[in-house]
Amino acid sequence: MKALRKYVDKIKPHFEKGGKFEAFHSTFEAFETFLFVPDKVTTSGSHIRDPLDMKRTMIVVVVALVPAMLFGMWNIGYQHFLALGEQVSLGQAFWFGFLKMLPIIVVSYGVGLGLEFLFAQLRGHEVNEGFLVTGFLIPLIVPVDIPLWMLALAVAFAVIIGKEVFGGTGMNIFNPALTARAFLFFAYPAWMSGDQVWVAGLKHGLQAVDGFSGATPLAEAAAGKIDQLPSVWHMFLGTIPGSIGETSVLAILIGAFILIYTGIGSWKIMLSAFTGGLVMGLILNLFAANPYMEIPAWEQLFMGGFAFGMVFMATDPVTSSQTETGKWIYGFLVGIMAILIRVLNPAYPEGVMLAILLMNVFAPLIDHYVVEANIKRRLKRAKVSVQ
Amino acid sequence: MAHLFDIFIKSIFIDNMVFAYFLGMCSFLAVSKTVKTSVGLGVAVIFVMTITVPVDYLLENYLLKAGALSWLGPQFADLNLDFLSFIIFIAVIASMVQLVEMIIEKYSPTLYTSLGIFLPLIAVNCAILGGSLFMQERDYQTVWEATSFGLGSGIGWFLAIVGMAAIREKIRYSNVPKPLKGLGITFIVTGLMGIAFMSFMGIKL
């Protein structure tokens, strides 16, 4: 480690202003801060620099995502061999999933980081670390058989239109990973919905054994086959078809624990989002106009991408509400909308993606009014003290 | 009653004037710089739409539609003044806008100046004329349906412009690439907001 530090220090002057490779300063800095915690200290005043910079923050999120990813890999293999009707060992299933998933991750990171570096060089800002998380989220929220060129296109769309045009990480209005997914969903619906896409191979003509449908629980519920839903225990463990990382509530809860314990993810948003989902579920239970609405409210929380979206996407510190009161409102509305769209809108089997995007639109407005209310309250107090 | 509520919700979210039909874009893009002014304009649009759509409904049904004049006497039963609907709708809208303008000028001069030319231009805001024309096309049965449609469409437009204004306030200090500054980024945001609003499309009420 020390030798590396020395080497980095040695080549550093070349990248400073006036050095040989001045043009590649942002690239160099990206790698330096990736390897080491920045050693900047304040020179005057009483400012404190927290070594927990953006890179460290993002890495924690990536770590929190690892359980969901590992489970997703195994589940790819498990579902595939289940469809074939073969019995395989845990290792075989995992290896199959690993090979399926690796190209998706490579494409996601390759395209995204490539564009990110390109923009950093062209526009002369630092390489933003935000893509570390986005690039990791995208593979987890797409179906396993997604063609790689579509994925590359979606990642490019998300990075350029969703983020870079706003000025890069921290400036975007919409969650880039969800922008990528929405792009795929509306541009290539045949690859993003239906019963064929969620299990590796089905779309390419793999003949499934009798009794294997490959439909996600949400699709079954929307089709009215409530009695064919997998048990809650299966949905909790995640041995069901679905987007790669979204199926296992257990793995997501581990991630949520990491996020909350380290203080990176907002527990307020998570809590209020789950409450919102539960409340909406209960309201629907009350009406119970069709079998879908009669599904117990708490069961809704285990289905589809609800847990994944609420833990990893709704808590995005950039696109969610910034104010503390706003976070409660924002999370609650996300939860409500997600269940509402899922159950009441026949056009979409799942509502989490669009619910979060919709609330991303209104998050600045929520913040605006929370701040306004605060100003008003304080003005009132000021008047009293004047008298 | 439930039926009226359905129309109301539908016109706010599902058939949102801005994101489903992309109507009223000019003032939507031009006045959405700050939340305060956009709230002012949004309320003005709600007011104008809630009045003009039912008024136009009555005119349509008792004056313009084929056979609408039959209440005057049997000799008018086959009269069709449909070709006048555009000009009459616009006239109603323009007079309503005139009224709003006078009210705002009297009670909120600051809002009046910050809205500037866009206040009288509500008269040609396509969302408002669009409201009346949709009312005609969709054949609402009672004046109450027309009213709830007008109110809902106005609120939908209000939500859109206020949400947009909050976003624009937030990205004011963002490092947006130079060619996209101002209207460019606003167009992109509008498109992305449209994607988000697609969450309602397909809901049947």
Distance, in Å, from the CA atom of A356 to the CA atom of A335, rounded to the nearest integer, reads 9
Per-residue model confidence (pLDDT) at position A131:
84
Q: Tell me the CA distances in angstroms from A383 to A146, A371, A378, B163, one per residue in order.
A: 61, 19, 9, 31
Cβ atoms of residues B161 and B18 within 8 Å: yes
**DSSP code string of B122-137:** GGG-HHHHHHHHHHHH
Cβ atoms of residues B52 and B85 within 8 Å: no
Burial level of B22, CB count in 10 A (0-12/13-18/19+)? middle
For residue A198, pLDDT over 90 is answered with no
Cα of A244 vs its chain's centroid, Å = 12
DSSP-derived secondary structure letter, A219: H
pLDDT tens digit sequence for A263-286: 888 899 999 999 999 999 999 888
Picking from A265, A295, A323, the residue at the C-terminal end of a domain is A265
> Do the domain assignments include residue A85?
yes
Q: Which two three-digit tokens encode residue A184?
A: 């795929």
Q: Quote the minimal CA–CA distance from B187 to chain A in Å.
A: 11
> Is there a single domain that holds both residue A173 and residue A243?
yes
> Is there a single domain that holds both residue A134 and residue A282?
no
> Is there a single domain that holds both residue A275 and residue A254?
no
Q: Which residues contact B136 (CB under 8 A, 6 or more apart)?
A: B56, B60, B85
Dihedrals phi, psi of A348, to nearest 5 degrees: -125, 130
Distance, in Å, from the CA atom of A11 to the CA atom of B203, rounded to the nearest integer, reads 60
Picking from A265, A293, A323, the residue at the C-terminal end of a domain is A265
Q: Tell me the CA distances in angstroms from A209 to A80, A92, A236, one per residue in order.
A: 11, 20, 25
| Phi-psi group of A219: left, alpha or beta (phi > 0 → left; psi -120 to 50 → alpha; rest → beta) | alpha
Closest by alpha carbon to A234, among A292, A299, A293, A309? A299
Q: How confident is the model at residue A40 (pLDDT cuts 50, 70, 90)?
A: low
| Contact call for A165 and B166, based on CB within 8 A | no
Q: How confident is the model at residue A385 (pLDDT cuts 50, 70, 90)?
A: low
Best of B192, B197, B201 to mutate (most A CBs within 10 Å, chain A): B192
> Is there a single domain that holds both residue A58 and residue A201?
yes
Residues in B closer than 8 angstroms to A360, CB to CB, are 196
For residue A171, pLDDT over 60 is answered with yes
Per-residue model confidence (pLDDT) at position A11:
78
Of B166, B175, B196, the CB nearest to A167: B175
For residue A252, pLDDT over 90 is answered with yes
Residues in A closer than 8 angstroms to B203, CB to CB, are 341, 344-347
Average confidence score pLDDT of chain A: 85
> Is there a single domain that holds both residue A301 and residue A384?
yes
> Is there a single domain that holds both residue A136 and residue A274?
no
> Do the domain assignments include residue A47?
no
> Is there a single domain that holds both residue A182 and residue A307?
no
pTM of the model: 0.87
Residue with tokens 């209000």: B158
Number of domains in chain A: 2
ipTM: 0.87
> Do the domain assignments include residue A13?
no
Per-residue model confidence (pLDDT) at position A39:
67
Q: Tell me the CA distances in angstroms from A61 to A177, A266, B58, one per residue in order.
A: 14, 12, 59
> Is there a single domain that holds both residue A240 and residue A257?
yes
> Do the domain assignments include residue A204?
yes
DSSP-derived secondary structure letter, B62: I
Residue with tokens 């995204």: A112
Query: In terms of CA atoms, which chain B residue is nearest residue A368?
Result: B166
**DSSP code string of A64-120:** HHHHHHHHHHHHHHHHHHHHHT----HHHHHHHHHHHHHHHHHHHHHHHHHHHHHHH
Per-residue model confidence (pLDDT) at position A49:
67
Per-residue model confidence (pLDDT) at position A262:
87
Residues in A closer than 8 angstroms to B197, CB to CB, are 358, 361
Q: Tell me the CA distances in angstroms from B35 to A174, A320, B31, B163, one per residue in order.
A: 19, 18, 9, 8
> Is there a single domain that holds both residue A30 and residue A101?
yes
Length of chain B, in residues: 205
Q: Which two three-digit tokens encode residue A101?
A: 């998933």
Per-residue model confidence (pLDDT) at position A270:
94
Q: Which two three-digit tokens encode residue B180?
A: 């996209």
Helix axes B143-170, B183-197, angle to 10 degrees: 130
Per-residue model confidence (pLDDT) at position A29:
73
Tally C-beta pairs within 8 A across A and B.
91
pLDDT > 70 in chain A, percent: 93
Cβ atoms of residues B203 and B45 within 8 Å: no
For residue A387, pLDDT over 60 is answered with no
Cβ atoms of residues A116 and A167 within 8 Å: no
| Contact call for A365 and B166, based on CB within 8 A | yes
Domain ranges, residue A364: 267-387
Per-residue model confidence (pLDDT) at position A51:
66
> Is there a single domain that holds both residue A387 and residue A286?
yes
Question: Which contiguous run of DSSP H or E holds residue B81?
Answer: none
205 residues of chain B, pLDDT tens digit each? 788 888 998 899 888 899 888 898 888 988 888 898 899 889 889 999 999 999 999 998 888 888 778 888 888 778 888 888 889 999 999 998 998 889 888 988 888 888 878 788 888 788 899 999 998 888 888 999 999 999 999 999 999 999 999 999 988 888 888 888 888 999 999 999 998 988 888 787 7
Closest by alpha carbon to B128, among B23, B19, B13? B23
Picking from A211, A234, A265, the residue at the C-terminal end of a domain is A265
Distance, in Å, from the CA atom of B136 to the CA atom of B61, rounded to the nearest integer, reads 9
pLDDT > 90 in chain A, percent: 37
Per-residue model confidence (pLDDT) at position A264:
86
> Do the domain assignments include residue A296?
yes
Cβ atoms of residues A235 and A302 within 8 Å: yes
Best of A368, A370, A371, A375 to mutate (most B CBs within 10 Å, chain B): A368
Distance, in Å, from the CA atom of A149 to the CA atom of A141, rounded to the nearest integer, reads 16
Query: In terms of CA atoms, which chain B residue is nearest residue A365?
Result: B166
> Is there a single domain that holds both residue A183 and residue A260?
yes
Cβ atoms of residues A249 and A238 within 8 Å: yes
Q: Which two three-digit tokens encode residue B158?
A: 């209000």
> Do the domain assignments include residue A6?
no
**Residues of B near A (CB-CB distance < 8 A)?**
35, 162-163, 166-167, 169-171, 174-177, 180, 185, 188-189, 192-193, 195-204
Helix axes A176-187, A148-157, angle to 10 degrees: 130
Query: In terms of CA atoms, which chain A residue is nearest residue B182?
Result: A166
Per-residue model confidence (pLDDT) at position A38:
66
| Contact call for A186 and B195, based on CB within 8 A | yes
Of A49-58, A111-120, A162-171, give the lowest mean pLDDT range.
A49-58
| Phi-psi group of A216: left, alpha or beta (phi > 0 → left; psi -120 to 50 → alpha; rest → beta) | beta
Neighbours of B204 (CB within 10 A): 10
> Is there a single domain that holds both residue A244 and residue A335?
no
For residue A386, pLDDT over 60 is answered with no
- A348/B98: higher pLDDT: B98
> Do the domain assignments include residue A4?
no
> Do the domain assignments include residue A11?
no
Query: In terms of CA atoms, which chain A residue is nearest residue B162?
Result: A365
Q: Quote the minimal CA–CA distance from A252 to chain B in Å.
A: 25
